[in-house]
Amino acid sequence: MANYHPNNEFLMSFAAGQLSNSLGIMIACHLEQCEQCRRQTSKYEALGGEILASIESQKVSPDLISQIMDKIDHQADSKPDTMPTAAKNYDIPRPLRRFVPDNFDDLKWSGMSRNIREYTIDIDDSEYTAKFYKIKAGKELPQHTHEGSEFTMVMAGSFSDRTCHYHRGDFILADEQTVHQPRASMDGDCICFAVMDAPLKMTGFFGRMLNPFMR
Ligand SMILES: [Zn+2]
């Protein structure tokens, strides 16, 4: 059960189909494991549909949105949950299965160091880069900050960062203000799905020569 969730703004953007591919996949992974956020997202989806329908038939009154929200709240409480849930004994969230056909161990991990491995996920996205990180049990990342934003979701194992402890399904947002040093728990390797602002791309002939060295 996730303890850290995307905020409502994310869920609303997801419902409206406005997130870039990588972030959309991450939110979909979280929803698969979080009933609370699934319910909230279906409210937003229903709200979007109702507003469209109303716009076609009449002028939108100021009360309309709250009336619709009441109605949806009512429906959501009485309706059984129909979203798919993760199959047991299968650790890869459904939205990631085309990138991880079998198992995290089979991916071609490359080394940042012996204890920290990374794998770039081939998601078509012009805004963000998506990666898996694997931190060996008990090991930690060097302390770092972020130049842009980094969104992280725990796939397997768990890690601690200062006072917080994150488990499978948790969604974490780090930005320029965040200084952190995640450490994997002793009881197993920690695998995270991370989505970050795409690194600056140099253009021009010399720039392109330099790109492989810029990270
Ligand atoms: Zn949630």
Checking if the pLDDT of 108 tops 70, the result is yes
Task: State the pLDDT at residue 78.
Answer: 54
Mean pLDDT of the chain: 81
**Positive/negative CA dihedral, 15, 171, 7, 71:** positive
The Å distance, Cα 173 to ligand 1 centre, comes to 13
Q: Which residue has the higher pLDDT, 77 or 98?
A: 98
Checking if the pLDDT of 120 tops 70, the result is yes
Mean pLDDT computed over 4-18: 92
Mean pLDDT computed over 105-123: 89
**Judging by beta carbons within 10 Å of its beta carbon (0-12, 13-18, 19+), is residue 83 exposed, middle or buried?**
exposed
Q: How confident is the model at residue 172 (pLDDT cuts 50, 70, 90)?
A: very high
**Judging by beta carbons within 10 Å of its beta carbon (0-12, 13-18, 19+), is residue 138 exposed, middle or buried?**
middle
The Å distance, Cα 19 to ligand 1 centre, comes to 17
Instruction: For residue 73, give the nearest of 51, 44, 49, 48 by alpha carbon.
Output: 44
Specify the range with the lowest mean pLDDT, choosing from 94-98, 119-123, 205-209.
205-209
Quote the percentage of the chain above a pLDDT of 90: 47
Q: Which residue has the higher pLDDT, 128 or 59?
A: 128
Mean pLDDT computed over 82-107: 74
Quick count: other Cβ atoms within 10 Å of Cβ 18?
11
DSSP H or E segment with residue 117: strand 116-120
Cα–Cα distance, 167 to 154 (Å, whole number)? 6
Q: Give the predicted TM-score (pTM) of the model.
A: 0.75
The Å distance, Cα 124 to ligand 1 centre, comes to 25
Checking if the pLDDT of 85 tops 60, the result is no
Nearest 5°: CA angle at 39, between 103 and 165? 55
> DSSP per residue over 44-88, as a string?
HHHHHHHHHHHHHHSPPPTTHHHHHHHHHHHHHHHSPP-S--PPT
The Å distance, Cα 64 to ligand 1 centre, comes to 27
Over residues 174-199, the pLDDT tens digits come to 876 676 778 999 989 999 999 998 55
Which residue ranges form the domains of the chain, and what is each CATH number?
8-78 (1.10.10), 98-197 (2.60.120.10)
Task: State the pLDDT at residue 61.
Answer: 65
Q: Which residue has the higher pLDDT, 50 or 119?
A: 119
Over residues 40-84, the pLDDT tens digits come to 999 999 888 777 777 666 665 667 667 777 776 776 555 445 444
- CB burial readout 107-135, b (16+ within 10 A) else e: beeeeeeebbbebebebebeebbbbbbbb
Checking if the pLDDT of 202 tops 50, the result is no
The Å distance, Cα 89 to ligand 1 centre, comes to 21
Mean pLDDT computed over 139-152: 80
The Å distance, Cα 32 to ligand 1 centre, comes to 9
